[in-house]
Amino acid sequence: MESKLKPLELVAIPVLLALLNLGNWANAVPQVPCYFIFGDSLSDNGNNNKLVTSAKVNYSPYGIDFPQRPTGRFSNGRTMHDFIVKLLGFEDYMPPFTESEGKNILNGVNYASGAAGIRDETGQHRGGRFPLTEQIKNHKTIISRITALMGNDSAAKSHLSRCIYSVQIGSNDYINNYFKPELYNTSQRYAPPEYATVLVQQLSDQLKTLYDSGARKFAVYGLGLIGCTPDARSVYGTEGAPCVVKLNEGATPFNERLKPLLDQLNRNLTDAKFTFLNPSGSAAGLVADSSCCQTGGGGGELCLPNSKPCDNRNQYVFWDGVHPSDAWNELVAKSAYGSEKPEEAQPFNIQKLALQ
Ligand SMILES: *[C@@H]1O[C@H](CO)[C@@H](O)[C@H](O)[C@H]1NC(C)=O
Ligand SMILES: *[C@@H]1O[C@H](CO)[C@@H](O)[C@H](O)[C@H]1NC(C)=O
Ligand SMILES: *[C@@H]1O[C@H](CO)[C@@H](O)[C@H](O)[C@H]1NC(C)=O
């Protein structure tokens, strides 16, 4: 009798595996209907291209490993968000706000802008940019267009409440503001812990504005180790240490305040979910102390136009002086999407945020 079950089991196992794999099918329905991106050059995918600024990268060798070549992404290939949206099951990347048109805005839009900060003045010495306040205004424009496309206010509201809103910003408030005392007065006005408090308070107001516009699922990123980039190490010097201690110590209080803020927002705005992400990857075996391309472009930290980059690009953490490579972006995207470590994703990773 038992042996009769065997052929059935053999059929059942592949069918079960196929069902479990559904989420990976390119034409499957994405886990959330839309994904909106707010941030700086780590997320920008072309919004700065038409601005007068030294913080734009629509030139070779940027995009050398991207099908459309230079697009304005600050990478040799994809950004972290490009990887995350694929993991979520989207077929296409989110269009930059400045090039968004037609129905593709229903899946989400990327508002991020190189040199932008939480504070409006951040990055002004680099030229044009969309500070976070303006990115949120641009989102309101998109909301009106989505509402018009859907032809129904309540349907648009419901759609927007199920999207993920990704916010990764704050590095420029340090490297293109606080740590440039010859250009900005914030370091005279605030000690590092106070400055972090002021930044996180402003970010809190900005997140609440997004909430008031209908956002309910927030993925908010902490700051990385801004003192460990090849550019920071060469500009500030490290006295033999691996990183610029002053820069990292400036930014650490920001993360220490951001996490409790998101806990408070989760308690106060009970119909919304906020999660703190600080994804990491293992740099083991990768080159982490120098950039792959020849730097000197932009403010000194970007690749020189038309220079020849390294060949083994997937073995580098940093593509240019401050921005990570496609290979590193893939590692941190997988961590943000699926990590079970509370120091990397608290209380949810992106996969679980999508299910909330
Ligand atoms: C708007 O969409 C809702 C569902 O979200 C539906 O119940 C309602 O009938 C729609 N209204 C119009 C005018 O189409
Ligand atoms: C600091 O700089 C801002 C402009 O970025 C200016 O509005 C403000 O008055 C300055 N404050 C002080 C105390 O110098
Ligand atoms: C949450 O609510 C408490 C109590 O009303 C308030 O004191 C606190 O400022 C609120 N926090 C945020 C981030 O809105």
Residue nearest (by alpha carbon) to ligand 2 atom 9? 185
Q: What is the 3-state secondary structure (H, E, C) of 118-151?
A: CCCCCCHHHECCCCHHHHHHHHHHHHHHHHHHHC
Give residues with Cβ within 8 angstroms of 148, minimum separation 6: none
Q: Nearest-CA neighbor of 342 among 249, 285, 282, 280?
A: 280
Q: Which residues of 53-91 are buried (b: 16+ CB within 10 A; e: fewer)?
A: bbbbbebebbbbbbeeebbbbbbbbbbbbbbbbbbbbbe
d(C-alpha 311, C-alpha 307), whole Å: 12
pLDDT at 280: 86
Token look-up 């007065």 returns 185
Element at 267 (helix H, strand E): helix 245-268
> What residue type is 322 in one-letter code?
V
Residue nearest (by alpha carbon) to ligand 1 atom 5? 155
Cα–Cα distance list, 163 to 31, 298, 355 (Å):
9, 34, 11
The atom of ligand 3 lying closest to the CA of 267 is 1
CA of 45 to the centre of ligand 2 (A): 32
Q: Which of 121, 173, 185 to mutate to test the pocket of ligand 2 (most atoms within 8 A of CB)?
A: 185
d(C-alpha 328, C-alpha 344), whole Å: 15
Maximum CA extent, the chain? 85
pLDDT at 27: 58
CA of 159 to the centre of ligand 1 (A): 12
pLDDT at 240: 86
d(C-alpha 68, C-alpha 245), whole Å: 38
- 77's tokens: 């290939």
- 65's tokens: 């490993």
Burial class (CB in 10 A: 0-12, 13-18, 19+), 23: middle
Q: Nearest-CA neighbor of 217 among 271, 150, 255, 258?
A: 271
Find the angle CA(57)-CA(62)-CA(65) to the nearest 5 degrees.
150
- 275's tokens: 């999660």
CA of 146 to the centre of ligand 1 (A): 15
d(C-alpha 107, C-alpha 10), whole Å: 39
d(C-alpha 269, C-alpha 159), whole Å: 19
307 lines ligand 2 (CB under 6 A): no
Catalytic residues: 41, 320, 323
CA of 271 to the centre of ligand 1 (A): 22
Cα–Cα distance list, 26 to 30, 90, 108, 125, 356 (Å):
9, 8, 18, 43, 23
State the pairing for strand pair 295-297/302-303: antiparallel
Q: Are 195 and 186 in contact (CB under 8 A)?
A: yes
Q: Are 259 and 276 in contact (CB under 8 A)?
A: yes
185 lines ligand 2 (CB under 6 A): yes
Which domains does the chain possess?
31-223+254-287+323-355 (3.40.50)
For the chain, residues with pLDDT lower than 50 are 1-26
Assign residue 298 a region (left: φ > 0; alpha: ψ between -120 and 50; beta: otherwise). Answer: left
Residue 30 DSSP code:
P
Torsion of CA 287, 291, 294, 297, to 10 degrees: 170
Residue 99 DSSP code:
G
